[in-house]
Amino acid sequence: MYTDCWGETMLIGFVVAVFVAAYLLIIFSKFRRSVIAFSAGLILAFAKVFSDFSFERVGELIDFNTIGLLIGMMIIVGVLRSSGFFHYASVRVIRFSRGRIRLLIALILLTIGLFSALLDNVTTIILFAPILFFIADITRKSPVQMTFAAIIAANIGGAATLIGDPPNILIGSASGLGFIDFLLAVGPIAMLMLLFIVIFMDLRVFRHFTDKSFRSSDIPSMDPSKAILSKKELKVSLAVFIIVLVGFAFHGVLGYEPSLIALAGAAAALFLTGKGFSDIASDVEWDTLLFFVGLFLLSSALHVVGVSDVLSSALSAVAVHQTLFFILLLWITAVLSAFIGAVPTVAVLIPIMRTLTASHGIPIDIWWAISIGACFGGSATITGSAANMVGIGLMEKHMGTSVTYYQYLKFSLLPTLLVLLMGTLYISLRFAL
């Protein structure tokens, strides 16, 4: 499958070298991850690692089902945001708390977790970060702990569905598992862990906030009637969003890929609200899309030169006990996700898992261990997931100061370990029965 211009050993060495260099730069350099991954993918293409590479065959290397799903959901969420829906939801949560700051933080964390399941964790953090900063300002508290807690809640909530966290989107596209599959398999443990984290944060982190309160009725911007910018756009975009979620639930019966459903929903939302692609372009996270393209090329290169097959054979040799093997993979995925990043880790594991399930008799349920490990483990470090980096970046911009790697790790390590242990128990019980 590789070009004759290279010796087999040289080709493998070159691909592995580019792969390692790209990941080291992603972890330690200040360059954008999207630029690094995309550039590394282009280097492999220019080096003719992929035999007879042409744009006609690029679909064999890049998973456009994932790309299409991301673009469609970004557009739908952008239209929904422009209607004022998320501001309205935030206002309702704040007013419901009646100025009780601990209750408000708990409600915000729950809301972030639930919205992350239905949207995605990166978008949810972007939407709710200003609310967190606003709460911190009016209570004269630092936004650091609130933001850290929100990031963890977003990652856990996002694990519940196919569209909630980018690793799940990758897994769904690679495995053929659908929205309902994720909701039934990972949804229960994700929602349970979300509730656990909210209680944990309230008792351990925010218990000293009891002396701070405010009257939400005294804040002009907290009027729900002024939150909705366009009732027509709200009704249309909300209806489209619900229909798309229903489409995800029944995509197997309907015979349509989730990406096609999302793109159709995006087109309908734009058409019915009279918006164009240029109006919503700022809501499309182009860095994320190009980051995925680069990762697909990197993981495809590993598969082309046979590295993925070698790793699959090595892992299958230790798969003597299924449950223990699933737990091992969960923790391997979690550790790699924490230090390399959840999306890069899953992108590399996908061809390995495909080989394990197709050629070594490993059941398809192995994907749930990968999902839990990536989504939960990604909370551990700043570089663990895109939501972490986006949330901390917004907070640093708001505060005008930097947050250190250790500062976040000190906060996140214990809750991350606790939810991973709960995930391990869940996998043990699920597959031991």
- Give the model confidence (pLDDT) of 10-59 as tens digits: 877 888 888 888 878 877 777 777 888 889 888 888 877 776 666 666 66
Q: What does the longest C-alpha to C-alpha distance in the chain come to?
A: 73
Q: Is 261 within a domain?
A: no
Token representation of residue 412: 């996140």
Q: Against a cut of 0.85, is the pTM above it?
A: no
| Predicted local distance difference test score (pLDDT) of residue 237 | 87
Q: Is 205 within a domain?
A: yes
Q: Length of the chain, please?
A: 433
Q: Is 67 within a domain?
A: no
Q: Is 125 within a domain?
A: yes
Name 26's Cβ contacts closer than 8 Å, sequence gap at least 6: 33, 36, 37, 340, 341, 344, 383
The dihedral sign for the CA sequence 333, 336, 339, 340: negative
In the block, tokens 């949330």 appear at 391
Q: Is 277 within a domain?
A: no
| Predicted local distance difference test score (pLDDT) of residue 31 | 77
| Predicted local distance difference test score (pLDDT) of residue 367 | 94
| Predicted local distance difference test score (pLDDT) of residue 158 | 93
Report the distance separating Cα 198 and Cα 168, nearest Å: 23
Regions of the chain with pLDDT less than 70: 1-7, 51-60, 99, 210-225, 308, 317, 319-320, 432-433
Report the distance separating Cα 70 and Cα 54, nearest Å: 24
| Predicted local distance difference test score (pLDDT) of residue 214 | 57
With residue 23 as reference, give the H or E element that holds it.
helix 8-28
Q: Is 151 within a domain?
A: yes
Contact call for residues 76 and 266 (beta carbons, < 8 A)? yes
Q: Categorise residue 187: left if φ over 0, alpha if ψ from -120 to 50, beta otherwise.
A: alpha
Q: What is the dihedral of CA 9, 12, 17, 22, to 10 degrees?
A: 170
Q: Is 243 within a domain?
A: no
Q: Is 13 within a domain?
A: yes
- Domain of 166, in residue numbers: 8-61+85-227+285-432
Report the distance separating Cα 399 and Cα 297, nearest Å: 37
Contact call for residues 365 and 322 (beta carbons, < 8 A)? no
Token representation of residue 68: 């299409």
Tell me how many domains the chain contains: 1
Q: What is the CA radius of gyration of the chain?
A: 22
